[in-house]
Amino acid sequence: MTPRSCLVSLEHLRTILWLRWRISSNQWRGSGTLNAVLTTLFVVCAIVASVVLFFAALISGTVVLRAKEFSPDVLMLTWDAVLAVFLLVWGIGLMTELQRSELLSLDRLLHLPLSLSGVFFLNYASSLLSLPIIVFVPGMLGLALAFILALGPQMIVILPLLISFLLMVTALTYQLRGWLATLMENKRRRKSILVAITMLFILAVQTPQFVNIAFMRSRSEGQKQHAQKYQEEVRELMRQLQAGEIDVAENERRLKEIDGRHKSGRAQTNSALYRGFVDTALLTNKFVPFGWLPYGVRAAAMGSIWPGMLASIVMFGVGGLSLWRCYASTMRFYTGTRAGPKRAATKARADNDEPAQLSNSLETKIPLVTEPVSAVALASFRSILRAPESKMALLTPLIMVGLFGGVTILGPGRELRRPELTMVPPFIAIGIIGVMLFGLAQLMSNIFGMDRGAFRAFVLLPVTRRDVLLGKNLAIVPVAGCITVLLFGVLQLFLEMRVTHLLATLVQLVPAYLLVCLLGNTSSILAPMPVANGTLKPASPNFKLFLVQMFVMMAFPIALLPATSALGIELLFAFVTDVNGVPIYLLISLVEAVLVVWFYLVVLEWQGRWLQQREPRILEILARVPE
């Protein structure tokens, strides 16, 4: 490259960075004066924080490392913690970037007098101006220099390790964003991808918590065993003292010996757990590319720089290969050399097959209900499956129960298998029903607002409004029922409820769901709120309607009263008569299910007439928001 071309590239890079900053500042001012001031203050604080982190890491790291000698394992775990925080913040930034358009996309840059390769490089370089890079990289650089100054020249291998690590992370992220951008050309697919990424990110963030719980469980079990052994030895010593087998001096001598053995055993247990944790981290760092930097630091602290150099070369190669593949895909995209005929054929075949699939799915007859109810239910069910925001609302309770249930099972849940606690698992199952219904509250308390313009079709349908409400209530049954039954199966696998308790809880799904449907219908008729496309947020917030929906949702726990009262009666009967095993919970649940079904059908008739009276007002509210 000639000096003149280098100058042009630098001029282009400076212009692109200035343009990116100018667009950002215009966006801040366009959002209001207060937002512009707060955003500017945030940027200034981020820059100041990066400078402070650099000098803090450099000075404090050098002083601490020189004042005390640390083992290579501790140095490795230090970098593991630093990189874990960086990757967490980087992942949050990636999710944020995916949910908004780029400031400078390739389409805009191609209007400038630049080559495609130059545009690709400039766009990649400008993507490095992100909050994690600005804040964390100076701190990591300062820490790396502190290691070199305090531990010797062999630690200089940290610099290529850090540079190659950042190249690998940014290149893989840039390639991932390009691939996802290609997939998200379809707006519906874009929303589904964002929902999937959000779920995976939540699960990834919670993974360390499960690991920590498992580690704490092993630690608590070891401490419990030592404590029990210590108590037994102390009790035996007290028995011997009271029986006159030993005198007071001998008792004190033996008590000191027992205390010494106990402290030594506890220290050995903690040391073994720490060693196991370090071995796991070392094995993970050895085979996971994101852990090669800490692994290279450990090897350098032990006197060998070759593992770190080899890891740097491989990470440079991974980053370079990722950028090359991303550039090749970009060339294929903008030069029109993608596999167009194959995609067109696939699309044509999908277009030919889709009507038949839609016809088959929407013409299916649901047993025990009329044809209009079946049509409304199937159409609403397909609408729920096609809307990514509805998928997120349906899967939120599954994620919540999975996370908290996993914490309970790995933590105190193992104690619930004891025979005297047989009544606890049914209450946990009722809690699962409550969490599921609470997670569905956004969908069930605003069934017409979620439909937006589709409510006009329901108004024009030549069917009773009772059938419309019944069809809307039946639409969520397949997903909610399958998820709840799946969670019951997992609960039964770990805690082993009585068969009668399991059957009774399954029966209790019916009255709980129907009562929530009645409350949701009331909220939807009385306080409909239009929801913006692609979100669960109200398109035109109304404080009065919001209060009505909030009060109705606060009444949702009423749906759990039949289940808790039936189980409480069985518990009271067993306590009074001291007779266990009588299936009172199951018998009462069957009676409650029949009564609630009758009550639901009666109230549904009244709600249908109420909906017909409120139709003009509901249509007026929903029509205020353009599609």
Output the six-digit token pair for 289. 């590319």
pLDDT higher for 487 or 398? 487
Give 341's pLDDT tier (boundaries 50, 70, 90): very low
Residue 121's pLDDT is what? 74
314 burial (CB, 10 Å; 0-12 / 13-18 / 19+) is middle
Give 336's pLDDT tier (boundaries 50, 70, 90): low
Output the six-digit token pair for 201. 């990110």
Residue 582 CA from chain centroid, whole number: 42
Residue 159's pLDDT is what? 92
Residue 352: pLDDT above 70? no
Residue range 144-167, pLDDT digits in tens: 999 999 988 889 999 999 999 999
Residue 220 CA from chain centroid, whole number: 28
For residues 513-520, average pLDDT: 89
Backbone angles phi, psi at 62, to 5 degrees: -65, -45
Is 587:420 a contact under the CB 8 Å cutoff? no
pLDDT higher for 217 or 454? 454
Count CA atoms closer than 13 A to 284's CA, side-chain side.
Answer: 13
Give 23's pLDDT tier (boundaries 50, 70, 90): low
CA 483 vs CA 433, 479, 490: distances in Å: 10, 6, 11
Residue in the structure block whose two tokens are 């009507």: 355
Output the six-digit token pair for 199. 């779920």
Residue 344: pLDDT above 50? no
CA 435 vs CA 93, 443, 512, 524: distances in Å: 30, 14, 12, 21
Is 510:596 a contact under the CB 8 Å cutoff? yes
Burial 597-609 (b: 16+ CB within 10 A, else e): eeebeebbeebbe
Output the six-digit token pair for 589. 């649940």
pLDDT higher for 203 or 545? 545
Residue 419: pLDDT above 60? no
538: three-class secondary structure by DSSP: strand
Of the listed ranges 172-181, 464-473, 568-577, the least confidently predicted one is 172-181
Residue in the structure block whose two tokens are 């740097």: 312
Separation of alpha carbons 65 and 150, rounded Å? 6
Of the listed ranges 66-75, 411-420, 432-441, the least confidently predicted one is 411-420
Residues 6+ away with beta carbon under 8 Å from 461: 372, 376, 468
pLDDT higher for 402 or 303? 303
Residue 315's pLDDT is what? 93
Give 434's pLDDT tier (boundaries 50, 70, 90): confident
Residue 321: pLDDT above 80? yes
Q: CA nearest 588: which of 570, 572, 604? A: 570
CA 429 vs CA 20, 353, 492, 495, 517: distances in Å: 53, 42, 9, 11, 20
Output the six-digit token pair for 234. 């102390």
CA 8 vs CA 16, 287, 462, 615: distances in Å: 12, 42, 70, 65
For residues 180-192, average pLDDT: 62
Alpha helices in 448-583 (DSSP H): 455-460, 465-475, 477-495, 499-526, 543-554, 561-577
Q: CA nearest 514: which of 423, 415, 418, 598? A: 598
Residue range 378-416, pLDDT digits in tens: 888 877 777 666 666 666 666 666 665 655 555 555 555
Residue 591's pLDDT is what? 92
Give 448's pLDDT tier (boundaries 50, 70, 90): confident
Give 103's pLDDT tier (boundaries 50, 70, 90): very low
Residue 30: pLDDT above 70? no
Separation of alpha carbons 57 and 294, rounded Å? 17
Residue 163's pLDDT is what? 93
Backbone angles phi, psi at 538, to 5 degrees: -60, 135
Q: CA nearest 84: which of 355, 307, 290? A: 290
Output the six-digit token pair for 616. 């003009």
Alpha helices in 387-440 (DSSP H): 388-410, 424-439
Provide, rounded to the nearest whole percent, the portion of the chain with pLDDT above 90. 12
Give the total residue count for the chain.
Answer: 627
Residue 277: pLDDT above 60? yes
Give 99's pLDDT tier (boundaries 50, 70, 90): very low
Count CA atoms closer than 13 A to 221's CA, side-chain side.
Answer: 12
Q: CA nearest 383: which of 401, 403, 362, 369? A: 362
Residue range 549-605, pLDDT digits in tens: 778 778 878 888 888 888 888 888 887 887 777 788 889 999 999 999 999 999 999
Q: CA nearest 556: which of 509, 518, 526, 607? A: 518
Average pLDDT, the chain: 76
pTM of the model: 0.58
For residues 234-240, average pLDDT: 79
Give 310's pLDDT tier (boundaries 50, 70, 90): very high
For residues 257-285, average pLDDT: 78
Residue 187's pLDDT is what? 60
Q: What is the largest CA-CA distance in the chain?
A: 101
Is 430:507 a contact under the CB 8 Å cutoff? no
Number of Cβ atoms within 10 Å of the Cβ of 67:
8
Output the six-digit token pair for 126. 């400008």
Is 533:452 a contact under the CB 8 Å cutoff? yes
